[in-house]
């Protein structure tokens, strides 16, 4: 478990390493270079790391503000976010309300006032009232930055990954993990959802509807003349609560097989919506990355 998770663009890896080395010298454990253990998917591993940390640092720059990887990590770590600006680029829309530390003039001096303010804020977030150790000395020379890449790439070890926050660390490949993810991304239709994730949420929604119907029958009974239940209150409430996550999950499922998220509107069409939802479960996803994000099954 790391104290701090650092989100950054690959082009800013030199500055990210300076930040990581400085925080480590203060006694904090830092996760910033993503090496995935065998047998785990990229998205689930990084998601767990972000959930376990106490402070999520995002380094905004002209590169990271354009990176959907970094924006997604910042959004999901928002409750423990400490942003910092590496240059004059402003944070993307939706993140300007969180005050960002200014490291644009910081050249690696760990006694610099800008660094001290930022590092102390990170330490307080990660460790509370505990006092940090003395300011560190300059770290070894960082490696040369890698060439800039554009578009969606298969994640190399130093690139930021798809992640999430708010739930306890668990195996996200389990049915419960998939259902929790769909509920957590309540109205977020961005990214991709694999067939198993969408399928388990479909089963969950069906069971919720079934249980709601039985509860309504228990409350109002069944009309002896029509054979129809008298109450629909619980069923209606449950249905309204599940509309948003159902459409969101369907949108991400459509993204996985390379279609527009608007295709998710089919699941809301009366009489045929359930059939469209079933079809979505069995359409295979596109291998590798596409316009909507990395392959959720990529290891």
Give which of 297, 179, 164 is closest to 246, Cα–Cα.
Answer: 179
HSE toward the beta carbon, residue 223, CA cutoff 13 A = 8
Alpha-carbon span 268 to 101, nearest angstrom: 44
Least confident of 33-47, 62-76, 117-131, 279-293: 33-47
pLDDT tens digit sequence for 195-208:
888 889 889 989 99
pLDDT at 85: 93
* pLDDT > 70? residue 22: yes
Across the chain, mean pLDDT equals 81
The strand pairing partners of 4, in sequence order, are 30, 55
pLDDT tens digit sequence for 23-63:
999 899 998 765 667 777 767 777 888 888 999 999 999 99
* pLDDT > 50? residue 169: no
Instruction: Output the CA torsion sign for 174, 293, 145, 165.
Output: negative
Alpha-carbon span 161 to 159, nearest angstrom: 6
* pLDDT > 90? residue 173: no
* pLDDT > 70? residue 213: yes
HSE toward the beta carbon, residue 46, CA cutoff 13 A = 30
More confident residue, 110 or 152: 110
Classify 69 as helix, strand or coil: helix
Query: Which tokens belong to 242?
Result: 């599940």
Q: Alpha carbon of 164 to those of 160, 177, 225, 248, 286: distances in Å?
A: 12, 12, 51, 15, 22
Interior angle at CA 155, CA 149 and CA 157, nearest 5: 105
pLDDT at 168: 38
Please state the rounded mean pLDDT for residues 144-164: 49
Beta carbons of 293 and 152 less than 8 angstroms apart:
yes
More confident residue, 191 or 36: 191
pLDDT tens digit sequence for 216-252:
899 988 888 888 888 889 989 988 988 888 889 889 8
The strand pairing partners of 101, in sequence order, are 84
Residues composing the chain? 299
Please state the rounded mean pLDDT for residues 140-144: 61
pLDDT at 103: 92
Alpha-carbon span 212 to 214, nearest angstrom: 5
pLDDT at 87: 92
More confident residue, 170 or 173: 173
**What is the pTM for the complete model shown?**
0.44
Domains of the chain as residue ranges with CATH: 4-127 (3.40.50.10140), 175-282 (no CATH)
Least confident of 65-74, 158-167, 254-263: 158-167
């Amino acid at each position: 478990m790391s104290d701090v998770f650092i989100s950054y663009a690959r082009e800013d890896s030199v500055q990210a390493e300076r930040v990581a080395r400085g925080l480590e010298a203060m006694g904090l454990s830092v996760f910033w270079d993503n090496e995935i253990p065998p047998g785990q998917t990229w998205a689930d591993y990084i998601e767990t790391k972000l959930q376990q940390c106490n402070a999520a640092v995002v380094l905004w720059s002209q590169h990271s503000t354009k990176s959907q990887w970094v924006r997604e990590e910042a959004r999901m770590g928002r409750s423990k976010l400490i942003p910092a600006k590496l240059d004059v680029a402003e944070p993307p829309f939706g993140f300007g309300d969180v005050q960002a530390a200014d490291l644009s003039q910081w050249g690696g001096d760990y006694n610099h006032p800008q660094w001290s303010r930022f590092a102390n804020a990170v330490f307080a977030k990660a460790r509370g009232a505990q006092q940090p150790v003395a300011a560190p000395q300059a770290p070894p020379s960082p490696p040369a930055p890698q060439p800039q890449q554009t578009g969606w790439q298969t994640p190399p070890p130093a690139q930021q990954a798809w992640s999430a926050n708010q739930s306890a660390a668990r195996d996200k490949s389990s049915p419960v993990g998939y259902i929790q993810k769909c509920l957590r991304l309540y109205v977020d239709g961005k990214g991709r959802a694999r067939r198993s994730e969408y399928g388990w949420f479909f089963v969950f929604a069906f069971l919720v509807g079934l249980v709601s119907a039985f509860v309504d029958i228990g409350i109002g009974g069944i009309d002896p003349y029509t054979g129809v239940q008298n109450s629909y209150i619980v069923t209606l409430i449950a249905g309204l609560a599940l509309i948003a996550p159902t459409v969101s999950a369907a949108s991400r499922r459509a993204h996985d097989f390379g279609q527009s998220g608007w295709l998710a509107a089919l699941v809301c069409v009366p009489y045929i919506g359930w059939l469209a939802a079933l079809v979505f479960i069995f359409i295979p996803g596109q291998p590798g990355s596409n316009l909507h994000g990395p392959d959720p099954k990529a290891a």
